[in-house]
Structure 1
């Protein structure tokens, strides 16, 4: 009889601890779900990219430069519903950003443009990295979206500057003068250096 009572008490205690464990697990799951919902909400609110060209030059580039057009289209499509959708979109944007290095129009194939594209790619890759972490730092993702927008504006303004500068007529002889300043075009001295006549010591 004693054994039955002890067994019964052990069974009740076991059931009680299981119930407490389940309640704890449910509370943790609810807390985690709420946290993910907040992260999603913050990223969803911050996910606004400047996908429209800000000047005429950028607009023309969207017609002639395929990679630029594809990139602007990719950042313009906002994902919906889940964090997973934002993660996929972020990876797609990173791929399109890297492709900007391909087929840069000859007019813009200059260090100023290439460096801005490089900075833009770096910031997009950072955003992609953060959004794929287990614990997503939504504040950093939101900050990087703002930084990416700044880089986009900087890149488009630089394109505009290059076009405006090309419109300025060059003065007579300026082209030759610029060629003379270009050290890469200078004629290399191929003769070996002669030693100066030094007095001999005998």
Structure 2
């Protein structure tokens, strides 16, 4: 009889322990779910990119610079419902950003533009890195979204400056002055000239 009672009590203890473990696991899952929901809501709220050109110059480039057009289109498509969708979209944006180094229009293929593209790519790749971490630092992701928007504006303004500067007519004589800055044309080879003059003097007939 005592054996049956002990077995019964042990069974109750095991069942109670399993129930407590299930409750603990359920509470932990609820805690994780709430945290993930908060992360999702923060990122979803901040996920607003400048996907339209801010000036006429950038608008014109959409038709000729395919990579820039594709990048703006990619950031304009907002993911929905799950953090996984944001992760997938972030990777796609990163790929489009990397492509901006290709086929840069000739008038923009200069250091001022390339440096801004490089900074933009760095910001996008950082965002993609953070959003794929197991514990997503949502505050860093949202901060980088703002930074990416700033870099987009900076790049488009630089485009505008380059085009506007190209419209300014050169003053009379400026082209000649710029050519004179070319040292290969402006500075004669004086040493070679002096040697030639010396040789001519040596070889010329002398009158007694």
Secondary structure at 1:121 match in 2: helix
> Residue 113 of structure 1 aligns with which residue?
113
RMSD: 1.9
Q: How does 1:122-141 map to 2 (within 5 A)?
A: 122-141=122-141
> Residue 197 of structure 2 aligns with which residue?
none
Moved more, 175-184 or 129-138: 175-184
Pick closer, same or farther for the CA change 1:182–1:47 going to 2, 3 Å: farther
> Residue 61 of structure 2 aligns with which residue?
61
> Residue 23 of structure 1 aligns with which residue?
23
Pick closer, same or farther for the CA change 1:131–1:163 going to 2, 3 Å: same
Pick closer, same or farther for the CA change 1:57–1:131 going to 2, 3 Å: same
Unaligned runs of 5+ in 1: 192-202
Structure with the higher fraction of residues in helix conformation: 2
Moved more, 80-89 or 168-177: 168-177
> Residue 171 of structure 2 aligns with which residue?
171
CA deviations over 1:155-197 (Å, ceiling 9, x no partner): 00000000000000012332343344357988898x9xxxxxx
Q: How does 1:1-202 map to 2 (within 5 A)?
A: 1-181=1-181
CA deviations over 1:4-63 (Å, ceiling 9, x no partner): 111111111111010000000001101111111111000000000000000000000011
Unaligned runs of 5+ in 2: 192-208
In structure 2, distance between residues paired with 1:46 and 1:174: 50
- Aligned residues, how many? 190
Pick closer, same or farther for the CA change 1:179–1:12 going to 2, 3 Å: farther
Moved more, 44-53 or 166-175: 166-175
CA deviations over 1:54-100 (Å, ceiling 9, x no partner): 00000000111100100000000000110000000000000000100
In structure 1, distance between residues paired with 2:7 and 2:187: 101
Secondary structure at 1:31 match in 2: helix
Pick closer, same or farther for the CA change 1:56–1:173 going to 2, 3 Å: same
Normalised by the length of structure 1, the TM-score is 0.89
In structure 1, distance between residues paired with 2:130 and 2:188: 50
In structure 2, distance between residues paired with 1:184 and 1:16: 92
In structure 1, distance between residues paired with 2:96 and 2:55: 21
